[in-house]
Amino acid sequence: MTIMEAPHATRRLTTSKAMVEAIAQEMERDPSVFYMGEDVGAYGGIFSSTTGLLEKFGPKRIIDTPISETAFIGLGIGAAVEGMRPIVELMFSDFMGVCLDQIYNHMAKIHFESGGNVKVPMVLTMAAGGGYSDGAQHSQCLWGTFAHLPGMKVVVPSSPADAKGLMTAAIRDDNPVVYVFHKGVMGLPWMVKNPRTVDEVPEDEYVVPIGRARVAREGSDVTVVTLSLSVHHALDVAEKLAPQGIEVEVIDLRSLVPLDREAILTSVGKTGRLVVVDEDYLSYGVSGEVVATVADVDPGLLVMPPQRVAVPDVPIPYAHDLEYAVLPRQDRIEKAIHSITTR
Amino acid sequence: MSSLVLFPPLSKETPDAEGVLATWFVSEGSTVVPDQLLAEVQVDKVAAEVPAPVAGVVHLLVAEEAVVRQGAPIARID
Amino acid sequence: MTTHASESTTAPAPRAPQAGEQQRPEPAVRAQLFETMVLCRTYEEAILREYHADKGPGFDIGKGLVPGEMHLSAGQEPVAAGICAHLTTSDAVTATHRPHHLAIAHGVDLHKMTAEIFGRETGLGRGRGGHMHLFDPDTHFSCSGIIAEGFPPALGQAFAFQRRGTDRIAVAVTGEGAANQGAFHESLNLAALWKLPVVFVVEDNDWAISVPRTASTGIASNADRAAAYGIPGHRVEDNDVEAVYAVAAEAVARARAGEGPSLIEVHTLRMWGHFEGDAQGYRPELAEVPSHDPIPRYEQQLRADGVLDEAKVAAIRDRATAKVEDAVAFAKGSPTPDPTLATDFVFA
């Protein structure tokens, strides 16, 4: 499902700068928007999620918090309930354990429990992902866990333009939106980056609708459904395989909740072959959900068994070679595609 | 009349420290305006943006991820 | 809206406070405190009756017009009455799984609240929340079944009130058992650090379900913990509604003046079980509990002081009964929610 956007003046930005630009533009437009989290002030966010914002908006709107996730995420909830639009940052998705109650029992449930009478228009941002040896407690994705718990939207941009568009949409949404940015897509100067983490970004106001996937590359032989950094890896593989006569269609999910099941079915209906690439854990998560999306409607759409390329059910190892053996990188993606397209 | 864009002096203690040209935001031969973001560079733990000093056509003198000494030219704007 | 007493002005003059006694509130205020407590108790007695009416034979917790867990606040009325007397419906109150007395004292609509407890479409949450998840945007009242976790959102409400330049405050209530939860400590620190207009209230009813305070808390009083966060802490003994009223006046004024949060711990009394169905075999002093009921004790005091007499008390009780039974009838007469719409209201 290709989103046709009106032409915008653009220039190239990294994903992190695009995300920051969206926040800045919304903060200018709406005085009730503010950003709160650990090291988001002078430091600009550990993964550059707020670089330059303190200078622009001051410490009353770009707020450093103590290391008290339960307290400050809950504070965001209360402020949202009273009509403000907080953006609250959980430094690493891995830290969800220390504050999950506020997230899934409060932020995600208040609207429902109040029969729709109370809204929680809050954005919960978080960095996720591995590939730079940060070990088992600092390399997880966990978006599948957030997506599994009802009551919060979940968006996962892969590209600079989507990072901006989805952030604008998330801030304007009256629901709680979990906005997960993979550290590897941010385009940080201190981390290995895929070239696609710097790309054209519309200069003015830009909104990408939540719940719509994007066809990142069209193809007729196999569908790769994926998200976040894995989109770039899938595109790398697609470029490599095209001269070999394998045309790979890459679907960038962009949102997990709502999930664009129609986009998945349309593509698989066309190609008959499915590879799901997900950097979250294999079992009980996103890749299973994508496969179920097809199986629930018509398993006959598939001419070969679906392939799931995910992190096997193991904590992410520290040593580089071990880590790269479990991440769903280009080599594993290519192998999965070959296994169902070799005629 | 062309202008050279230099790698900024991020480390004052070591003026000829080496850093990395981490990211080009413009491509070879594109037209730029003053203050437009050209590149992001890094020395040790400090990163910085490099804006265009003047308008013109930019020519990239170093590759992305190249190691560059502080003060060395990284681009030329004609 | 919080109701005001409409007592006549022919009450006898109150006796002057003896030396060493705290300054007593005006008679009208004292009568109102009593009336609020009576309304709370009358309500809980009605819910108790309705809850148990159809659970038998035996006790099937999922059965009947009011299914599920039920945590009633009999004995804890002094906390609600004493604190909420200083609030308007523009102030926020967050409560716990034992919320009814606070909701009532704060002015939550009794019809909608009761309908929610009965799981009806006309309830505060359209039957989606139930008795532990009452949300009333009109009075900024909310409660949560995860103890201590109501504190952080209360901070956020206070933050919003402060940002808008108002003198509105948030009152966050929890139990002595919950004061050992991380959220409690994080919230006290953050509220103190940012000088948020919050009043923290700990209802120490001695029991965290079946665990006495002596087995849960390393120090004698949570009011002492306040000092660790740099905020004032007061402990009220004896479930004394007027002592709560006095201490709350200070704490509320402090918050409204922008001076930051305070903590009030009230040694109160959980007269019934933790939940309905709790046999309380673990509770050695159970037989003496009724003798410590704060409402007859306060009634006696007010009669002795000439603030109330038999007729006035009867009128108060009648008013309470009428209000409560009217709310119960409204709830019972309301439609149950449509099961085909069970997945509605997840997102706005």
In angstroms, the separation between the Cα of residue B17 and the nearest Cα of chain A is 17
Mean pLDDT of B22-44: 94
CA distance B36 to B53: 8
User: Does A223 reside within a domain?
Assistant: yes
Q: Which of A21, A38, A69, A89 is catalytic?
A: A69
A162 and A242 assigned to the same domain = no
Tell me whether residue A211 is exposed, middle or buried, using C-beta atoms within 10 angstroms of its C-beta: 0 to 12, 13 to 18, 19 or more: middle
| pLDDT tens for each residue of A234-275 | 999 999 999 999 999 999 999 999 999 999 999 999 999 999
CA A262 to chain CA centroid, Å, is: 19
* pLDDT over threshold 90, residue B14: no
Domain that holds residue A229: 214-341
Question: CB–CB of C110/C324 below 8 Å?
Answer: yes
CA distance A35 to A61: 6
* pLDDT over threshold 80, residue C17: no
CB atoms A190 and B42 under 8 Å = yes
Tell me whether residue C102 is exposed, middle or buried, using C-beta atoms within 10 angstroms of its C-beta: 0 to 12, 13 to 18, 19 or more: buried
Q: How many helices (H) and strands (E) does chain A have?
A: 12, 14
For chain C, first and last CA: distance in Å?
28
Domains of chain C: residue spans and CATH: 36-334 (3.40.50.970)
User: Does A7 reside within a domain?
Assistant: no
For chain B, first and last CA: distance in Å?
6
Q: Map tokens 């007269």 to a residue.
A: C271
Q: Is A111 a catalytic residue?
A: no
Going by C-alpha positions, the residue among A187, A220, A257 that lies closest to residue C347 is A257
What integer pLDDT is reported at residue C16 of this predicted model? Answer: 52
At A13 the three-state DSSP class reads strand
* pLDDT over threshold 60, residue C18: no
A166 and A251 assigned to the same domain = no
Going by C-alpha positions, the residue among C136, C140, C134, C198 that lies closest to residue C172 is C198
A146 and A240 assigned to the same domain = no
Q: What does the mean pLDDT of chain B come to?
A: 93
CB atoms A11 and B40 under 8 Å = no
Rg (CA), chain C: 20
Of A126 and B14, the one with more pLDDT:
A126
Adjacency order of strands within the sheet including C198-204: C135-136, C141-143, C92-95, C170-175, C198-204, C262-267, C233-236
Q: Map tokens 């209906």 to a residue.
A: A269
What integer pLDDT is reported at residue B13 of this predicted model? Answer: 84
CA A52 to chain CA centroid, Å, is: 23
For residue A133, give both structure tokens.
Answer: 């040896």
* pLDDT over threshold 50, residue C126: yes
* pLDDT over threshold 90, residue B1: no
Residue of chain C whose Cα is closest to the Cα of A67: C186
What integer pLDDT is reported at residue C5 of this predicted model? Answer: 42
Residue where one domain finishes, among candidates A202, A226, A243:
A202
CB atoms B25 and A11 under 8 Å = yes
Question: CB–CB of A242/A274 below 8 Å?
Answer: no
Measured between beta carbons, which residues in chain C are less than 8 angstroms from residue A74?
149, 151-153, 155-156, 183, 187
Q: Decide if A111 touches C, using CB distance below 8 A.
A: yes
For residue C67, give both structure tokens.
Answer: 């299914």
A143 and A184 assigned to the same domain = yes
* pLDDT over threshold 90, residue A5: no
CATH for A218 = 3.40.50.920
For residue A321, give both structure tokens.
Answer: 């070679």
* B51, amino acid identity: P
User: Does A47 reside within a domain?
Assistant: yes
At B51 the three-state DSSP class reads strand
A196 and A54 assigned to the same domain = yes
CB atoms A14 and B20 under 8 Å = no
Cα–Cα distances (Å) from A227 to A246, A278, C100, C254, in that order, read 21, 7, 46, 51
A105 and A189 assigned to the same domain = yes
CB atoms B45 and A13 under 8 Å = no
* A101, amino acid identity: D
For residue C29, give both structure tokens.
Answer: 């205020």
Work out the percent of chain C whose per-residue pLDDT is above 70.
94
User: Does A113 reside within a domain?
Assistant: yes
The secondary structure of residue A138, as a DSSP letter, is S
Question: CB–CB of A129/A310 below 8 Å?
Answer: no
Interface test with B, best of A16, A39, A46, A188 (most B CBs within 10 A): A188
What integer pLDDT is reported at residue C347 of this predicted model? Answer: 96
Residue of chain B whose Cα is closest to the Cα of A201: B25
Measured between beta carbons, which residues in chain A are less than 8 angstroms from residue C133?
109, 113-114
| pLDDT tens for each residue of A86-112 | 999 999 999 999 999 999 999 999 999
What integer pLDDT is reported at residue C6 of this predicted model? Answer: 40
What integer pLDDT is reported at residue A69 of this predicted model? Answer: 96
A195 and A268 assigned to the same domain = no
A151 and A251 assigned to the same domain = no
This model of the complex carries an ipTM of: 0.88
What integer pLDDT is reported at residue C29 of this predicted model? Answer: 98
Residue of chain A whose Cα is closest to the Cα of B25: A12
What integer pLDDT is reported at residue C2 of this predicted model? Answer: 39
Q: Which of A106, A138, A232, A233 is catalytic?
A: A138
Cα–Cα distances (Å) from C246 to C25, C81, C235, C299, in that order, read 8, 12, 12, 19
What residues in chain B have their Cβ under 8 A from chain A's Cβ atoms?
20, 22-26, 36-37, 40-42, 45, 47
A245 and A197 assigned to the same domain = no
A40 and A105 assigned to the same domain = yes
Measured between beta carbons, which residues in chain B are less than 8 angstroms from residue A189?
20, 22-23, 40-42, 47
* Helix residue ranges, H only, chain A: 15-29, 53-57, 69-81, 100, 110-113, 143-148, 160-172, 229-241, 261-271, 286-297, 320-326, 330-341
CA distance A86 to C7: 46
How many of the other CB atoms lie within 10 Å of CB of A106? 26
Question: CB–CB of A87/A23 below 8 Å?
Answer: yes
* pLDDT over threshold 80, residue C215: yes
In angstroms, the separation between the Cα of residue B25 and the nearest Cα of chain A is 5
User: Does A207 reside within a domain?
Assistant: no
* pLDDT over threshold 90, residue C125: yes
| pLDDT tens for each residue of A131-172 | 999 999 999 999 999 999 999 999 999 999 999 999 999 999
What integer pLDDT is reported at residue A7 of this predicted model? Answer: 63
Interface test with C, best of A82, A90, A172 (most C CBs within 10 A): A82
Measured between beta carbons, which residues in chain C are less than 8 angstroms from residue A100?
none
Q: Where does the pLDDT of residue A8 fall: very low under 50, low under 70, confident under 90, or very high at 90 and above? A: confident
Residue where one domain finishes, among candidates A152, A169, A202:
A202
- Return left, alpha or beta for A228; rule: phi > 0 is left, psi -120 to 50 is alpha, else beta: left
User: Does A5 reside within a domain?
Assistant: no
Neighboring chains of A (3 or more beta-carbon pairs < 8 A): B, C
Measured between beta carbons, which residues in chain A are less than 8 angstroms from residue B22?
189-190
Nearest residue, CB atoms, A115 vs list C125, C140, C149: C125
Q: Decide if A190 touches B, using CB distance below 8 A.
A: yes
A166 and A232 assigned to the same domain = no
| pLDDT tens for each residue of C38-84 | 999 999 999 999 999 998 888 889 889 999 999 999 999 999 999 99
Q: Which of residues 3-32 of A touch B (CB under 8 A)?
A: 11-14, 17
User: Does A6 reside within a domain?
Assistant: no
Residue of chain A whose Cα is closest to the Cα of C126: A115
Nearest residue, CB atoms, C149 vs list A106, A118, A175: A106
Going by C-alpha positions, the residue among C317, C269, C267, C265 that lies closest to residue C293 is C269
Residue where one domain finishes, among candidates A178, A202, A226:
A202
Domains of chain B: residue spans and CATH: 3-77 (2.40.50.100)
CATH for A117 = 3.40.50.970
A45 and A94 assigned to the same domain = yes
User: Does A4 reside within a domain?
Assistant: no
Tell me whether residue C167 is exposed, middle or buried, using C-beta atoms within 10 angstroms of its C-beta: 0 to 12, 13 to 18, 19 or more: middle
C and A touch with 3+ CB pairs <8 Å, answer yes
Q: Is A69 a catalytic residue?
A: yes
Residues, chain B:
78
* pLDDT over threshold 80, residue A4: no
Number of domains in chain A: 2
CA distance A333 to A250: 12
